[in-house]
Amino acid sequence: MPTPITPHAWFRDREGMGLWEGRGKVVATGVGFSPTARRWDEKPETSMGAFTIDAIRKAIADAGVSPDQVDGLVLTPESTTGVTNDPNTPPPEGWDKMFKMASFPQAGITRGDIDWILANMPELTNVKFAMNGMGCMSVSFVTAAEAVARGLTNTCLVVRGWHNLAGRYYVGQGAAALDTASGPGKFGGLWGLPACAGTAMVFEEYCQKYGKNHDMMANFVVQQRANGLKNPNGFYTQYRPEMLTVEDYLSGRWIAKPASIYDNDLPIMAALAVVYTTPERAKDHKQKPIYILGHAQTRGEAQGVIPNLERWERASDRLGRILYESSGVGPDDLDFENMYDGFTLFHQFHLEGLRFASRGEKKGYALDLYQTDISPEGPNPVSPSGGNSGNGRTRYWLHADSILQLQGRAWAQVPGAQIGVSGAHMPGNTDALIWSANPPV
């Protein structure tokens, strides 16, 4: 049978739902990172599946539990957003000697698959709950939180792996792969727009409306790299440890003006696993339990064929309202924000929707905030994880860092952090969570 996906009723996607029923009933403890690579070298031992297994084993060890205590597994099966191959492409030589096959021939190579994981991790003997959180690991984080809160699993792994094959990014799939321009993709694909083009257009609207400019993004992007270079698991730390400067950013070549090369994240290979459990069971875990106070979702309302400023701002504002209603906290309670930055030029929409460090301002203040001290040690800790921009494309650095921040073991620590927020991915298409170092009162 196909692995079930998250029921729509589990998402908090409208206002007026009140406090989340699972508030304070779910915690995260163990975190496991795989190795990181730029592209796959087509060896079984460096595949996305191998990385995923490695991350799972590290998360279990980090939590200090035995594998047979794990009774739930939530996975995001999609494992790239740019380069893939024919699903019938045979595995590389030696694959069948290292791994057992699943029904989908590319399982462990270009797609995450719970059946494949269970077949290749014999130590996971008691998994009774399995579900796919489709599209983004943020969905899996929310799915697992609901599953634990609803009593469907007691110790649950949340997992995502990313693959990156050799080849031109975004050329072999979607509208770009068709012989003729058809469907919604024809409105952008026909003109050869890169992935960041929609964000660039909305950012230009933002700048014109609020009197800002692209140069004002420099401090944010440079700080992202500085934060990321403190992460031993990040791509740049391991392979390109040179620091990005303001001058580098300002002279970066345009991809879709006003989006430069440094406003786009770098596709990589990596995997993450996190252990969720109940507060009662967490007493026996090795790491400090971090409580989930609430979650929220927006979907589709701000995208359209080509996004625009009004829709993105409306969607971001709505996400903030649902999230605060769900968790019972407000913007003044946040010690840091770790929202998505896959295209750096939309990070401020998340930030302003949450009203983070707004000082009473509602819109157009984020780029001015970037000119202040936004370092983890400063008064306005913006994206201390370094995000995709500072670590490479995964969409999960932000969630992992939020847990580690509140456990006091982050790579770029915010002193005394007690409450934070993380979410991904684009404005209007986001799942976000509020995390706390302490149970709700």
pLDDT tier at 300, thresholds 50, 70, 90: confident
Same structural domain for residues 261 and 277? no
Residue 301 has pLDDT above 70, yes or no: no
Distance between CA atoms of 177 and 179, rounded to whole angstroms? 7
Instruction: List pLDDT tens digits, range 208-225.
Output: 999 999 999 999 999 999
Residue 178 has pLDDT above 70, yes or no: no
**Nearest alpha-carbon partner for 221 in 261, 257, 270:** 261
Distance between CA atoms of 85 and 112, rounded to whole angstroms? 14
Considering the domain boundaries, does residue 77 fall inside one?
Answer: yes
Instruction: List pLDDT tens digits, range 352-390.
Output: 999 999 999 989 999 999 999 999 999 999 999 999 999
Strand 72-76 versus strand 129-132 pairing type: parallel
Considering the domain boundaries, does residue 176 fall inside one?
Answer: no
pLDDT tier at 167, thresholds 50, 70, 90: confident
Last residue of a domain, one of 253, 282, 311: 282
Considering the domain boundaries, does residue 187 fall inside one?
Answer: no
Write the single-letter amino acid at 26.
V
Considering the domain boundaries, does residue 238 fall inside one?
Answer: yes
Same structural domain for residues 253 and 275? no
pLDDT tier at 111, thresholds 50, 70, 90: very high
Cα angle 382-360-307, degrees, rounded to a multiple of 5: 65
Considering the domain boundaries, does residue 54 fall inside one?
Answer: yes
Q: Do the Cβ atoms of 159 and 75 come closer than 8 Å?
A: yes
Considering the domain boundaries, does residue 171 fall inside one?
Answer: no
- The 3-state DSSP class for residue 188 equals helix
Write the single-letter amino acid at 195.
A
> What residues pair up with 434 in beta bridges, in sequence order?
294, 421
Same structural domain for residues 100 and 214? no
Distance between CA atoms of 370 and 34, rounded to whole angstroms? 31
Last residue of a domain, one of 282, 313, 343: 282
Considering the domain boundaries, does residue 182 fall inside one?
Answer: no
Considering the domain boundaries, does residue 391 fall inside one?
Answer: yes
Q: Look up the pTM and report it.
A: 0.96
Instruction: List pLDDT tens digits, range 29-62.
Output: 999 999 999 999 999 999 999 999 999 999 999 9
Q: How far is CA 114 from CA 45, 59, 104, 158, 160, in A?
A: 19, 16, 11, 11, 11
Q: How many helices and strands, by DSSP H and E, does the chain display?
A: 15, 11
Distance between CA atoms of 225 and 114, rounded to whole angstroms? 33
Stretch 69-81: mean pLDDT: 94
Last residue of a domain, one of 250, 282, 314: 282
Same structural domain for residues 278 and 200? no
pLDDT tier at 339, thresholds 50, 70, 90: very high
How many domains, in total, are found in the chain?
A: 2
Residue 410 has pLDDT above 70, yes or no: yes
Token pair listed for 224: 């992202």
Residue 173 has pLDDT above 60, yes or no: no
Instruction: List pLDDT tens digits, range 242-255.
Output: 999 999 999 999 99
Same structural domain for residues 299 and 420? yes
Domain that holds residue 158: 8-164+268-282
What secondary structure does DSSP assign to 361-377, as a single string? --SS-HHHHTTS--STT
Distance between CA atoms of 113 and 103, rounded to whole angstroms? 9
Q: Look up residue 273 and give its DSSP letter.
A: E
CATH number at residue 28: 3.40.47.10
